[in-house]
Homo-oligomer: A and B are copies of this chain.
Amino acid sequence: MNRVAIPAQGVFRTRLRTRFAETDLQGVVHHSVYFVYFEQARVEYFKHLGFDFWQLRRDGDLDITVVEAYCKYLAPARFDDELEIAVWTSQVRRARFTIEYSIYRGDTPIAWGQTVQAAIDPRTGRPRPIPDVMRRVLTAQLSDSGLSLI
């Protein structure tokens, strides 16, 4: 797979610039950093959907935590690259949901990934159902790249 099928709808896009500290001695962005990029895109996507991390914690006594993470690296990102990240929801269940990501530099696909998130109680770490409003919004956003691996 060197092509990434981005869904036709329900896709949020954001941009970031790679940092010097994120590179490694092979001259490229270290592979672990892509998960930080995914997270950054997810945070902005969630804000766009009206979810606020701090408010969820305060009002709902709720933390969202990553329970699975996958990345396929297609071409290296380098220092000072401007990257575009497309992000969408591909699955919503009672207590977890899957977000997908495609990273591009111009027309060049750089990476594709998925993360599965679960809702937990911040004090006990125990799983909780996703709040109704969050499930409704995410379900309305559902898109499918047909590529789901996890």
Q: Which residues of A contact B (CB under 8 A)?
A: 19-21, 23-28, 30-33, 35-36, 39-40, 43, 53-54, 63, 65-73, 76, 78-80, 122, 125, 149-150
In the complex, chain B residues whose CB is within 8 Å of the CB of A27: 25
Integer count of this chain's copies in the complex: 4
In the complex, chain B residues whose CB is within 8 Å of the CB of A30: 20-21
- Nearest CB on B from A116, distance (A): 9
B31 and A20 form a contact (CB under 8 A): no
Per the bound structure, the CA–CA distance linking A67 and B26 in Å amounts to 14
A73 and B68 form a contact (CB under 8 A): yes
B66 and A80 form a contact (CB under 8 A): no
In the complex, chain B residues whose CB is within 8 Å of the CB of A63: 26
A53 and B39 form a contact (CB under 8 A): no
B25 and A24 form a contact (CB under 8 A): yes
Q: Pick the contact of A19 from B26, B39, B71 — CB < 8 Å?
A: B39
In the complex, chain B residues whose CB is within 8 Å of the CB of A32: 21, 32-33, 35-36, 39, 69
A-B contact pairs, 28 of them (CB 8 A): A19-B39, A19-B40, A20-B25, A20-B53, A21-B36, A21-B39, A24-B25, A25-B25, A25-B78, A25-B79, A26-B65, A26-B122, A31-B65, A31-B66, A31-B69, A32-B33, A32-B69, A53-B80, A54-B79, A66-B73, A67-B72, A67-B73, A68-B70, A69-B73, A70-B70, A70-B71, A149-B149, A149-B150
